Chain A
């Protein structure tokens, strides 16, 4: 019975490729009381640094993970339990904990591999998680890919069937950019939903993906059950055009790193591997042309020209707007653009990649939005 009062804090699995992570610092000390969602321990992977948050309340009884030490995914790095659980039981729990092997963990998660689907916009890559009755489709932004939802897709899979795709020209999808810029991508999103027989879905769009999702919801009334717009494009004219130009032109690690650092409130989150992965994408034949065509289609004189805010008024679906207060790409002031039409939440301490930097808060907001 005691097992249910003792909750393990384990090395998380952020993304398919993660096999181990390094504990870089404890934000709580043994004896501290912890509420759900509070940050407990900092962890760094070869892709990105992040924070493990409490999924259940209690007292931090053991901080096992040593700083600067690497642990496999699901290894026990801490123990949370109620204050009245005896010390001996905690010790027995720690002594008896067996880290599931990578293979077992993989089986539990039921085939979390990437898949591909043929659509009118070409072959698109996607990931699918969860089995819920509701469906969520996650749509990344300019130059991004489905791994931008690394910290979200598994958490949301508890509530719904979640899809995350690589838009045309992005990630490992076909590199040919459909005609019509952002509108073309909105048609590609609907084509993706058709190909997978997704009749209706909650669309969650980040940055340019917010404008793509809004245009798709408009073009096919009834297909979108709700919209969640995160740091979204299309809600105002201001944009950091220097970022877009820098991202398109950067061909080396030294050029790209300072550009990508602008995406985060905490630039130290940008690891060597994150920059390397972006360079590997940008080097693929066809990517430069796709990014140049796309940025040319949605920017004019350094301002956004695909504006979707007014079209939202006509849509009879719930809209949630989420922003990082320290967004250096699209100003957080745009969160107020919808002025009563949407719930708006501006999250402090986060930049443009708010869904990565404050993942659990964003997951909570999306979860409540799609179930409420």
Chain B
């Protein structure tokens, strides 16, 4: 039965249901139980923002608080996955990937390929992404394109509680390594979520709004900014179709291309930095595959090519805004529509 819960609760519920279903599922990370010195299980924090709260009491021994060494425990999780477990390792902030990237890039992503398809690596690496949390340059980046660049990794970034639950369940059941990116400013966002377990297949974008005049492609937090822009554009009689990619590897080209073939106009909104990003990837692919359908040059609305600022004023300007998206659409919408 569906009821409204937050994205944080939805992620907790996905972990809970999969741990109940499959004893091979374990959860690892820094302070995910409560950390050394936590006064007790009842009031254990359950991770830096409480996403894993309550799971330790339900599944004693299956939540492992790790030392502050990402290179050690991400490597251990990948090794456990290669040996038959289904670990979900929490990397806290995706920005911390630097110290464990060899384990991800050269080990987890390569096992299946280098062992001739005989090795499975069913590991999920959950991590917070994105700006707007006043957490400065080392805890706020949208590093999704770093991972989509690597073959052998699956990359997921949900925009809402319903998708977060279904995509995390799919990630845990998937036999390949999955980088699961959770936008920290969406943790409180609520949606209708069924109580039961369900899996959303990877590579299936969601058309979250239908429209005939322009296609806006996004993922994560900026899907909501795109929807806000689409509402404003509708008042000017411009009907925007909004596509939420949901998974970035694999990516649902068919849904994007079909939409652009109808609208003839593309705006890609990406919170990542602009060079070699999801925005450039989508724009380039559409230009190559659907050039004949395009009535105007694709537009990219992204963060600037700077670190995430600590100044709140600057940080608010950093994430693509509904204003910036509306302006990008207006630039390519024909005058007749804008009038």
Chain A residues in the interface with B (C-beta under 8 A): 114, 116, 125, 172, 175, 251-254, 272, 276, 280, 283-286
- The interface residues of chain A lying within 8 Å CB-to-CB of B166 are 283
Could you show 16 A-B contacts with beta carbons less than 8 Å apart? A116-B1, A125-B1, A172-B2, A252-B204, A253-B207, A254-B254, A254-B255, A272-B210, A283-B198, A283-B199, A284-B194, A284-B198, A285-B196, A285-B198, A285-B199, A286-B196
| 1/0 contact string of B242-267 vs chain A (CB within 8 Å) | 00000000000011001000000000
Bound CA–CA A252/B200 (angstroms) = 9
- The interface residues of chain A lying within 8 Å CB-to-CB of B210 are 272
Partner of A285, one of B2, B197, B207: B197
Q: Are A172 and B1 in contact (CB under 8 A)?
A: yes
CB closest residue in chain B, given A175: B196
- The interface residues of chain A lying within 8 Å CB-to-CB of B194 are 172, 280, 284
- The interface residues of chain A lying within 8 Å CB-to-CB of B204 are 251-253
| Shortest beta-carbon contacts, A-B, top 5 | A283-B198, A285-B197, A284-B198, A252-B204, A284-B196
Q: How far is the CB of B1 from chain A (nearest CB, A)?
A: 5
Q: Does B151 contact A (CB under 8 A)?
A: no
Q: Are B207 and A272 in contact (CB under 8 A)?
A: yes
Bound CA–CA A146/B210 (angstroms) = 26
Bound CA–CA A254/B258 (angstroms) = 10
Q: Are B254 and A251 in contact (CB under 8 A)?
A: no
For window 262-305 of chain B, which residues contact chain A by CB distance below 8 Å?
none
- The interface residues of chain B lying within 8 Å CB-to-CB of A172 are 1-2, 194
Q: How far is the CB of B154 from chain A (nearest CB, A)?
A: 17
Bound CA–CA A280/B207 (angstroms) = 14
Partner of B200, one of A125, A175, A283, A286: A283
Q: How far is the CB of B285 from chain A (nearest CB, A)?
A: 18
- The interface residues of chain B lying within 8 Å CB-to-CB of A114 are 1
Q: Looking at chain A's contact residues, is the secondary structure mostly helix, strand, loop, or mixed?
A: mixed
For window 192-238 of chain B, which residues contact chain A by CB distance below 8 Å?
194, 196-201, 204, 206-207, 210
CB closest residue in chain A, given B2: A172
Q: Are B198 and A252 in contact (CB under 8 A)?
A: no
Bound CA–CA A253/B201 (angstroms) = 11
Q: Interface size bucket, B side?
A: 10 to 19
Q: How far is the CB of A165 from chain B (nearest CB, A)?
A: 14
- The interface residues of chain B lying within 8 Å CB-to-CB of A251 are 201, 204
Q: How far is the CB of A181 from chain B (nearest CB, A)?
A: 23
- The interface residues of chain B lying within 8 Å CB-to-CB of A253 are 204, 206-207, 255
Q: How far is the CB of A365 from chain B (nearest CB, A)?
A: 33
Bound CA–CA A172/B3 (angstroms) = 12
Q: How far is the CB of A284 from chain B (nearest CB, A)?
A: 5
Among B166, B197, B198, B210, the most chain A Cβ lie within 10 Å of the Cβ of: B198
Bound CA–CA A253/B208 (angstroms) = 12
Bound CA–CA A175/B1 (angstroms) = 12
- The interface residues of chain A lying within 8 Å CB-to-CB of B198 are 280, 283-285
Bound CA–CA A116/B195 (angstroms) = 14
CB closest residue in chain B, given A254: B254
Bound CA–CA A125/B200 (angstroms) = 24
- The interface residues of chain A lying within 8 Å CB-to-CB of B206 are 253, 276
- The interface residues of chain B lying within 8 Å CB-to-CB of A283 are 166, 198-200
Bound CA–CA A125/B2 (angstroms) = 12
Bound CA–CA A276/B204 (angstroms) = 12
For window 167-210 of chain B, which residues contact chain A by CB distance below 8 Å?
194, 196-201, 204, 206-207, 210
Bound CA–CA A252/B255 (angstroms) = 10
- The interface residues of chain B lying within 8 Å CB-to-CB of A286 are 196
Bound CA–CA A286/B197 (angstroms) = 9
Bound CA–CA A285/B166 (angstroms) = 10
Among B162, B206, B258, the most chain A Cβ lie within 10 Å of the Cβ of: B206
CB closest residue in chain A, given B170: A283
Bound CA–CA A114/B3 (angstroms) = 12
Bound CA–CA A366/B241 (angstroms) = 41
Bound CA–CA A261/B210 (angstroms) = 17
Bound CA–CA A283/B210 (angstroms) = 22
- The interface residues of chain B lying within 8 Å CB-to-CB of A280 are 162, 194, 198
- Besides A251-B201, A252-B201, 14 new A-B residue pairs in contact (Cβ under 8 A), listed by A number: A114-B1, A172-B2, A252-B204, A253-B204, A254-B255, A254-B258, A272-B210, A276-B206, A280-B162, A283-B199, A283-B200, A284-B196, A285-B196, A285-B198
- The interface residues of chain A lying within 8 Å CB-to-CB of B255 are 253-254
Q: How far is the CB of A44 from chain B (nearest CB, A)?
A: 12
Bound CA–CA A339/B210 (angstroms) = 46
CB closest residue in chain B, given A17: B192
Bound CA–CA A276/B258 (angstroms) = 17
| 1/0 contact string of B150-173 vs chain A (CB within 8 Å) | 000000000000100010000000
CB closest residue in chain A, given B195: A172
For window 86-135 of chain B, which residues contact chain A by CB distance below 8 Å?
none
Q: How far is the CB of B267 from chain A (nearest CB, A)?
A: 20
